[in-house]
Amino acid sequence: MKYEILKLLAKNARYSAEEMATMLGIEENEVKENIKVLEKDGLIRGYKTVVDWEKLDSAYVSAIIEIKVVPKAGLGFEEVAEKIMKYSEVESVYLMSGVYDLNVVVKGKTLQDIARFVAKELSTIDTVTSTTTHFVLRRYKEMDVELISENQDDRGQFWL
């Protein structure tokens, strides 16, 4: 049942415990208990909103930065990854397979902000050997949510 609850919340974090209980055919209390446990155990890490920032004048820019690093003996990539993730500019950090090591998503108000952050902060970390910055031009889909679709229901509305 935990998995079912997680799947519902991952789709829509605003479902109430009562609604989820109805949909899953269980008691409301069971949903609440499960969520408590999921939060306590750290399976649920937070609840956020999917925002289409481009609709706002003060939209931000973001970039995906590929980073190559020299792993430290005994510490692997952990040390540098943990250092990078502490920056408030950094949205996500992933260790990657393939030609580079860390994939870092960075956001800032302007291109210059990000350029400055990469030059001054990321590149200067001593184990970082190179960075490649890709600016995001347009978001089509974010966290499973389509940002550009009109969601027009074109079905015949009274087909019996």
| Residue ranges in contact with other proteins by CB under 8 A | 8, 12, 15, 19, 22-25, 153, 155-160
Q: Which is nearer to other proteins, 7 or 116 (CB)?
A: 7
Cβ distance 11 to 5 under 8 Å? no
Residue 140 or 159 with smaller CB distance to other proteins: 159
Minimum CB separation from other proteins for residue 21, in Å? 9
Cα 133 from Cα 66, distance rounded (Å): 6
First to last CA, the chain: 36
Q: How far is the CB of 121 from other proteins (least distance, A)?
A: 41
Give the nearest distance from C-beta 20 to other proteins in angstroms.
Answer: 9
Task: Residue count of the chain, please give it.
Answer: 160
Beta carbon nearer to other proteins, 3 or 40: 3
For the CB of residue 24, give the shortest distance to other proteins in the complex, in Å. 7
Rounded Cα–Cα distance for residues 125 and 87 (Å): 13
Which structure tokens are listed for 146?
A: 């389509």
- Contacts of residue 140, Cβ cutoff 8 Å, sequence gap at least 6: 146, 147, 148
Indicate the residue among 46 and 156 with the shorter CB distance to other proteins.
156
